Chains A and B, each alone.
Chain A
Amino acid sequence: MKNKNIKTILLVSFSFVLVLSITSATPQSAYGAKTPKADDVSDNWIAEDQAKASKRAAEVVPFVDKVVDECRLFRQQKLRKMKLSVNDIDNSYFLLDSPIINKEDDQYGPVRFMHSKHAASVGDCSACHHYRPADENALETTRCSACHQESFMSDHPERVGLKAAYHLQCMGCHQEMAEGPVDCIGCHVKKVPDHADFVKLGVNPGAIEVTKECLRCHANAGEDMLSSVHWLWEGPSPYTLCKEKKINHGKRSTAINNY
């Protein structure tokens, strides 16, 4: 019995720490992203391959005007005969980002694309590298943004722009394979607008004031929460002190607040 009680207490305290760590982390990750503190060195640290991927994503390579018209099956066979494999990959990690894409709008953060992982699991380079440049000196596989750049080029009405090329390729394949995300936030981080401009709170606001301020804009989220399990959970609680024999203990019925 006692053992169980200790477990419960441990669980509660653990969740406390978890909640605390989330709340303390939130300001930096979500709201502080646009205004990093200059004195905080840890914020400026970027992983080496991330830096490389960012640099690569920022490049705009010369446009490939003509491609070799090959049938898909033929190309698959050709690349297989060349014995192209994961080992030939120079860049195993990409950021799918480009100045071409971000001209019109920039609601989402760039997608992080695991090139090697995809290559290994798909096992068919021609699935993405579906055409090669007509220039014989060019590499057999070239990057997406070499052929797909601006949308609706009058010389190439059939060729989609870079943004559509990414979306059609990723989502099409994910759908076909029934694997991988097909929704927006499955791949992207949504760029949350800086809430410093929206939130209007006095000095040292109370918990209820903060909740009210959130609900001012996110009324639906508040209502959804009230019909979610986070608000309505209940059930047997054999490990809860003094509630061992209850079968309907929970926030919906007898519990007063979170633990």
Chain B
Amino acid sequence: MELNRRGFFKVMGATSALLSAGMGKARAAWVSKAPPDPYGCLVDLTRCVGCRKCEEACNDANSLPPPDIPFDDPVVFETDRRPDEKTYTIVNRHSSGKIDDRDKLVPVFTKVQCMHCQDPACVSACIAGALTKKENGTVHYDAGRCIGCRYCMVACPFEIPAYEYTNPITPKVQKCTFCFDRIIREGGKPACVAVCPVEAITFGKRNILLVLAKNKISDLPAKYIQHIYGEHEAGGTSWMYISDTPFEKLGFTKVIPEPIPRLSETVQHSLFSYLWSPALLYGLLGGIMWTTNKAKNKDKGGSDASS
């Protein structure tokens, strides 16, 4: 193998050009790619009555397979469920720990679905860009680009994306679609929101919902917990919750208050923007190789060293 002078300088020239371009970009701090004015949903857990109409409407709107247990059978509340590849949203029953006037435990119902993060980890993770964050807040899945690596599932802090493990050839990642096709229409609402009999879910612009949630909490400070779940979780999510029971008791996981992809994207871009570091390493190794080969050639009196 041979590294001649011309080749070496070519490499070094290219390296320095790339370096100057890359270093500048790399130093720039991480910037959120969150849409400025997305839609969102505010779930008031104190209102949910556990009728599971949202599950039924979701099933219908997304043409999902029929459930194992009918939607009007309260027996499902006996087990703690998670959304899966056949169910985009589920309602679980928890105990608030309180007892009402008639000595009955007061249940709290929680609706679980994709949170549609502002800076979604799944979107950052997806190898082929099958998952995207839309301007209207939706975290959208395009099966046409998916290769089925399931890195989105690894990344999601809420354990939401589910997978069609029994489909051998064309499995899809399944999760709440935010009824994308419905909400892009004027006045359209997600199916679960439209069906809710008590408006436990309020649909609107996220910024307005945040104000609404804060007003609700400050109007009834004794009723609500001073926490809007989803305001800061994972850097903010389109779906948000307010509750009269601490969220830890209701199966809500504690999530760091900063965008999940921040660290990995910062590391990734500061190392590989414009491929500056590989170029630098290439140049460096090229230089070492050239030097050692030159020294060796001198020893051998100019004869070439081939591998």
Contacts and interface: CB of A to CB of B under 8 A. Distances in A.
Interface of A: 104-105, 151-152, 154, 157-158, 160-161, 163-164, 167-168, 171, 178, 182, 184, 220
Contact of B194 (A104, A184, A220): A104
A220 B198 CA distance: 29
Q: Chain B contact residues (Cβ within 8 angstroms of A): what range? A: 20 to 34
B235 to A, nearest CB: 24
Contacts of A161: 199
Given A105-B194, A161-B199, A178 B212 contact: no
B195 A105 contact: yes
Contacts of B205: 154
Given A157-B212, A158-B212, A167 B202 contact: no
Chain A interface SS verdict (over half)? loop
B271 interface: no
B129 interface: no
A178 B72 CA distance: 22
A158 B215 contact: yes
B63 to A, nearest CB: 16
B260 to A, nearest CB: 29
13 contacts: A105-B57, A105-B195, A151-B202, A151-B203, A152-B202, A152-B203, A157-B212, A163-B197, A164-B196, A164-B197, A167-B198, A168-B198, A184-B72
Nearest to B213: A157
B195 A168 contact: no
Contact of B47 (A105, A151, A157, A168): A168
Interface in B49-63: 49, 51, 57
Contacts of B181: none
A220 B76 CA distance: 14
B199 A171 contact: no
B159 to A, nearest CB: 29
A104 B195 contact: yes
Given A171-B49, A178-B101, A184-B51, A152 B197 contact: no
B208 A154 contact: yes
A47 B216 CA distance: 44
Nearest to A190: B72
A258 B209 CA distance: 59
